[in-house]
Chain A
Amino acid sequence: MTQTPHIGVKNLNVRIGDSHLLKDININIPDKSVTSIIGPSGCGKTTLLKSFNRLLDDIPGVNITGNVLVDGEDIYGKHADVTQIRKKMGLLAQRPFPLPMSIYDNIAYGPRIHGAPSKKELNALVEHYLKAVGLWEEVKGRLHGSASSLSIGQQQRLCLARGLAVEPEIILGDESTSALDPISTKIIEDLIIQLKEKYTIVLVTHILRQARRVSDYIIFVYMGEIIEFGPTEEILLNPKEKLTKEYVKGFIS
């Protein structure tokens, strides 16, 4: 690759206390496409994802070595500005966590923090991003109502819109549909496919069919190591490694 990728990882090791959670991770995440991280529970999928935007920092006893380069800049470097790094990445968590404020303020939260746009600009922003996730028609009458009054599926879309409103380049999803019903899941999946034109997307999932439906590339992680990385079809239909083969067939879970 000639161009610097959005996310590049070099010799990343993560330890918490005595346990070695991630071992010598080296990978370049392909730009403007969806990459899924798959693997059995507790293998380090979520840890890998969270290492991208330094959400591991606050865990007691954590020790991180190696580099994660975002747009060529080492986010674990001495002069890295953690809030700017996180601004570049939207996070969609396992369950929706609307901030304890109105629907409008949830979207406006990020833009307000990163500068004080005028009321008019904010109104336009809120409308734009709610439309982007297809929520506008459903909530435009109650923008100033509490965000927790929405259904779980709507809340998750609100969280996505909230993340998009800070204009990230990357979207990180941590099993973002695991709390949702099938219809809401479908809506989120469709949105992800739509969004990859503009964003680099990394998803953690334990549902192979979902990985197959939405992703272009797959990373298979096992016991804190990357076993295999490649285009979706190749990993799922024709894996090279024995472990990947066993996992894909459902022997390891």
Chain B
Amino acid sequence: MKIRLLKDKVIGTGMLALSVLSVSLVLLIGIGLYLRSLPILQQYSVWELVTSSSWRPMKGEFGFFPFIMGTLWVTGMSILIAVPLCLFTAIYLSEYAPASFKRFFLPLVNMLAGIPPVIYGVWGVFFIIPIVQRYIAPHFVEFSTGYTVLAGGIVLAVMIFPLIVSIVVEVLSTIPKELREASLSLGATKWETVKKVILRKAFPGIFAAIVLAISRAFGETIAVLMVCGNVPIAPQSIFDPAYPLPALLANNFGEMMSVPLYDSALMFSAFALLIIILIFNIISRAILQKIEIRNA
């Protein structure tokens, strides 16, 4: 009897230790990256680093503004493309489509959610870049290589399609059928029911899906590295190239050790990514809680 209880205790303590360790990973990563970016933070203030546009590591100039803007442009573009398309798709699948179509389409979408980003990158290079270069950009600008914010946005958007569609369909399926009937029986059309009742009810879930999609797009590395052009100048339009933070980090890995402070600057960009993701998560959670309380 004693042995059983002892076993319970010992194993419990071990599990607790593992849990504490893995939970503190957030903190460990933060501290680790902070320590590594300390050298550059001692030379320049965070404000200087974030607002300066001049990126010349050889001369010791480290301005992150172009990369931050690049990240925002590309992420924003992808969300702008993906959210409306995915919402309409999810609504169609859950409210309008015949059951047989839904049964065929949804597993396909789930399957594509697993395709690695590098494949989306390959597709972007071979499919999206030429289209942007030959068919879209010439209508707006004189010359474009195709490697632009637009291309990055499209590739990222397609990458987050499966994510948003599958979560939103799941969210819509939890809404009781009777709520739909209540609205329909008042003489509302199907679309009115969707617009005024279902979307309202599903809003917290849809919001959470979009937050996850933004995090994914924001931190995506290899796909944007392949299609955005990587020019360290803040983009002015969707036909300019962009150089998002993760791409900067990934691209300069080999050479960073030989230049003073370069390595520290790159680690600072990783640190910045982490902090932005953390802040974004906290804010969205707070908003979500507010909405849920209001709708309760």
Chain A interface residues toward B at CB < 8 A = 53, 55, 60-61, 83-84, 86-87, 89-91, 93-95, 97, 99-101, 109-110, 113-114, 146, 148-149, 159, 162-163, 166, 172
**How many Å from the CB of A75 to the closest CB on chain B?**
13
Question: Which residue of the partner chain, among A84, A94, A101, contacts B187 with CB atoms under 8 Å?
Answer: A84
Residues of A within 8 A of B186 (CB): 86-87, 90, 109-110, 113, 162-163, 166
**B182 contacts A53, CB within 8 Å?**
no
Docked pose: A172 CA to B184 CA in angstroms: 13
Interface residue B170 (Cβ < 8 Å from any Cβ of A): no
Q: Which residue of A lies closest to B200 (CB)?
A: A100
**How many Å from the CB of B55 to the closest CB on chain A?**
49
Residues of B within 8 A of A90 (CB): 185-186
Q: Which residue of B lies closest to A88 (CB)?
A: B187
Docked pose: A55 CA to B188 CA in angstroms: 12
**How many Å from the CB of B140 to the closest CB on chain A?**
41
**B296 contacts A55, CB within 8 Å?**
no
Question: Which residue of the partner chain, among A53, A91, A97, A113, contacts B188 with CB atoms under 8 Å?
Answer: A113
**B179 contacts A89, CB within 8 Å?**
no
**B187 contacts A93, CB within 8 Å?**
no
Question: Which residue of the partner chain, among A55, A61, A146, contacts B185 with CB atoms under 8 Å?
Answer: A55
**How many Å from the CB of A102 to the closest CB on chain B?**
11
Interface residue B176 (Cβ < 8 Å from any Cβ of A): yes
Query: Lowest 4 A-B CB distances belong to which pairs?
Result: A87-B187, A91-B185, A60-B99, A110-B186
Q: Which residue of B lies closest to A94 (CB)?
A: B178
CB<8 Å pairs between A and B, sample of 9: A83-B187, A90-B185, A90-B186, A97-B176, A97-B178, A97-B182, A100-B197, A163-B185, A172-B185
Chain B interface residues toward A at CB < 8 A = 98-99, 176, 178-179, 181-189, 192, 196-197, 200-201, 294-296
Chain A interface mostly: mixed
**How many Å from the CB of A6 to the closest CB on chain B?**
16
Given contacts A60-B99, A146-B295, A148-B296, whether A99 and B189 have CB atoms under 8 Å apart is no
Docked pose: A100 CA to B189 CA in angstroms: 17
Chain B interface mostly: helix
**B185 contacts A101, CB within 8 Å?**
no
**A113 contacts B182, CB within 8 Å?**
no
Residues of A within 8 A of B187 (CB): 83-84, 86-87, 110, 113-114, 166
Residues of A within 8 A of B196 (CB): 99, 109
**How many Å from the CB of A128 to the closest CB on chain B?**
16
Q: Which residue of B lies closest to A87 (CB)?
A: B187
**B183 contacts A91, CB within 8 Å?**
no
Docked pose: A130 CA to B291 CA in angstroms: 27
**A146 contacts B296, CB within 8 Å?**
yes
**A53 contacts B178, CB within 8 Å?**
no
Given contacts A148-B296, A163-B185, whether A101 and B178 have CB atoms under 8 Å apart is no
**How many Å from the CB of A62 to the closest CB on chain B?**
11
Residues of A within 8 A of B201 (CB): 100
Residues of A within 8 A of B188 (CB): 83, 109-110, 113
Given contacts A100-B295, A146-B294, whether A89 and B185 have CB atoms under 8 Å apart is yes
Residues of B within 8 A of A113 (CB): 186-188, 192
Q: A86-B185, A93-B182, A100-B200 are in contact. List 12 more A-B contacts (CB 8 A).
A: A53-B185, A83-B188, A84-B187, A91-B182, A99-B183, A99-B200, A100-B179, A109-B183, A146-B296, A162-B186, A163-B185, A166-B186
Docked pose: A181 CA to B178 CA in angstroms: 20
Docked pose: A110 CA to B192 CA in angstroms: 11
**How many Å from the CB of B169 to the closest CB on chain A?**
16
**How many Å from the CB of A167 to the closest CB on chain B?**
10
Residues of B within 8 A of A159 (CB): 182
Docked pose: A148 CA to B184 CA in angstroms: 19
Docked pose: A86 CA to B186 CA in angstroms: 6
Docked pose: A166 CA to B200 CA in angstroms: 21
**How many Å from the CB of B205 to the closest CB on chain A?**
12
**How many Å from the CB of B74 to the closest CB on chain A?**
35
Question: Which residue of the partner chain, among A55, A61, A109, A162, contacts B181 with CB atoms under 8 Å?
Answer: A55
